[in-house]
Chain A
């Protein structure tokens, strides 16, 4: 069975500090897809990024960056120069095939990030 582990349950930083969220996954698939979602205090789930297993290039989007390392089964997420608006719960997820060529996501337990002014 697939599994996603986010060992950090909560991280507290002061504004402008960098924060890295760890995600470790387990899968027997040779091709797979990883995702990050953000859940701000308002409660909605926002899709941030998708990464496939055959592309190990790191990705940067503004203050967000992602480090995918297949050798260690990790897909870590860094927020650079954090801001109060980054306060949220962040989820890492792993895709798995379902019937009729669809997919479902297996989520980690989430990491709550609190950015203090």
Chain B
């Protein structure tokens, strides 16, 4: 199994509160990703990182920010949580060596409920 740990695994929070999800890897991979999974939508990319302090937006980035201060950690922050952000969040890593054929390896997910 890829060494990816997501924390917390479950969280319930109230609308309007800030929330930070953490992803920690032990593989020293360059690329890290945050996806959200919702019924009927599969997995959609929120943000990704291609190095320390190097991040970019995905297709559903509104309302989310990320930070990567160390290779092993990638944080996802919801500045002011809304009910539409209730979802399962997956972190993924990839070693990608420039051929675009690298699979992503996923963590076990964080189930977030915004009430």
Is B a genuine binding partner of A? Answer: yes
Tell me how many residues of A have a C-beta within 8 Å of chain B: 30
8 Å CB contact of A107 from B30, B43, B105: B43
Known contacts A100-B51, A101-B98, A102-B50, A50 near B42 by CB under 8 Å: no
On whether the beta carbons of A104 and B33 are closer than 8 Å, the reply is yes
**Which residues of the other chain, A, contact B103 by a CB distance below 8 angstroms?**
35, 47, 50
Q: How far is the CB of B88 from chain A (nearest CB, A)?
A: 8
| CA A33 to CA B50, docked complex, whole Å | 19
Within 8 A of B (CB), among A1-47: 4, 6, 9, 31-33, 35, 43-45, 47
Q: Closest CB of chain B to A68's CB: distance in Å?
A: 14
- Name the one of A91, A100, A103 contacting B42, with C-beta atoms under 8 angstroms: A91
B108, A50: Cβ atoms under 8 Å? Answer: no
Are the CB atoms of A98 and B42 closer together than 8 Å? no
Q: B54 at the A/B interface (Cβ < 8 Å)?
A: yes
| A99 and B100 alpha carbons, distance in the complex (Å) | 11
How many residues of chain B are within 8 Å of chain A by beta carbon? 31
Which residues of the partner chain B approach A47 to less than 8 Å between Cβ atoms? 103-105
B109 near A99 with CB under 8 A, answer no
Which residues of B in the span 19-50 have a Cβ within 8 Å of any Cβ on A? Answer: 30-31, 33, 35, 40-45, 48, 50
Sample of 23 A–B contacts (CB below 8 Å): A6-B42, A9-B40, A32-B100, A45-B43, A45-B90, A50-B101, A52-B101, A95-B100, A96-B100, A98-B48, A98-B56, A101-B98, A102-B48, A102-B96, A103-B31, A103-B100, A103-B102, A104-B33, A104-B104, A105-B43, A106-B45, A107-B44, A110-B42
Ranked nearest first, the 10 interchain pairs of A and B with the lowest CB-CB distance are A101-B98, A107-B42, A100-B50, A45-B106, A103-B100, A107-B43, A102-B96, A33-B101, A47-B103, A109-B42
Binding site for A on B (CB under 8 A): 30-31, 33, 35, 40-45, 48, 50-51, 54, 56, 58, 88, 90, 94, 96-98, 100-106, 108-109
